Amino acid sequence: MQYKKHSSGFTLIEILIVVALLGALVVGLLATLDPFQQVKKGADTATRNMAADIYRSFVSYQAVKGQFPWTSDDITGLAASANAVTEGSTGYITQVISAGELKTEFVNTVGATNLGKIFLTSTAVSGVRNNLSVCFMPESKTFRADTNARYGVNGEVSSGCAATGGATACYWCAK
C-alpha cells in the first residue's frame, strides 16, 4: 500500500512571494501618503489656525476699542515675532491678550518661533484702519495649491501665485 505524503504549510518560495508583495504594497502606500508632506500639512494647519485666531482677536479688539492696537496707519509685512508683537508694553498681541481677546496662554502655546511665521498688514482706507491681513507662507503642497494662498506678504492678491497658475509661492491670508 502506498501512502501519499500530505504536507500542510507553505513552502519557502510561497512565503518569500507574499513578503515581497506586502513590501511592494507598503512602498506604494508610503509613496502615496508622503509622510514629510503630511508633517508639513499638519504644521500648516496649526499655523493657519493660529493666523485665524490672531485675525479674529484683532478684529474683535478693533470692534471694542474702535482701532487696532498699533498707532501708525500702515503696518506692512511686520513679522509677528517675539520682538515685534509679544514683548514689551507695546506688543500688539500682549495688548490684545490684556483686552481679553486672546487667552493668556496663547503665546506660550503657539511659541515665538511659530509667531515669527505670521505677517500682519494693516492699511488705512480714507484715514480709517480697517483693512487687516494676517498671512503666512505655507510649506505643504496642499496649502500652496489652496485658493486662499494667492496673496503676497502684504495681503494683496498676486497674479503669479501657484494657486492661480503661476510659479511663485504665495502667502495664505486671513482677511
CB atoms within 10 A of CB 53: 18
Q: Fill in the amino acid letter for 86.
A: T
Q: What is the three-class DSSP state of 161?
A: strand
78: β partners: 120
B/e letters for 88-108, b = 16+ CB within 10 Å, e = fewer, are eeebbbbbbbeeebbeeebbe
Whole-structure pTM value? 0.72
Q: Is the alpha carbon torsion for 16, 19, 20, 21 positive or negative?
A: positive
pLDDT average per 10 residues of sequence, the chain (175 residues): 70 93 88 83 92 91 84 52 42 84 84 80 68 87 84 79 65 88
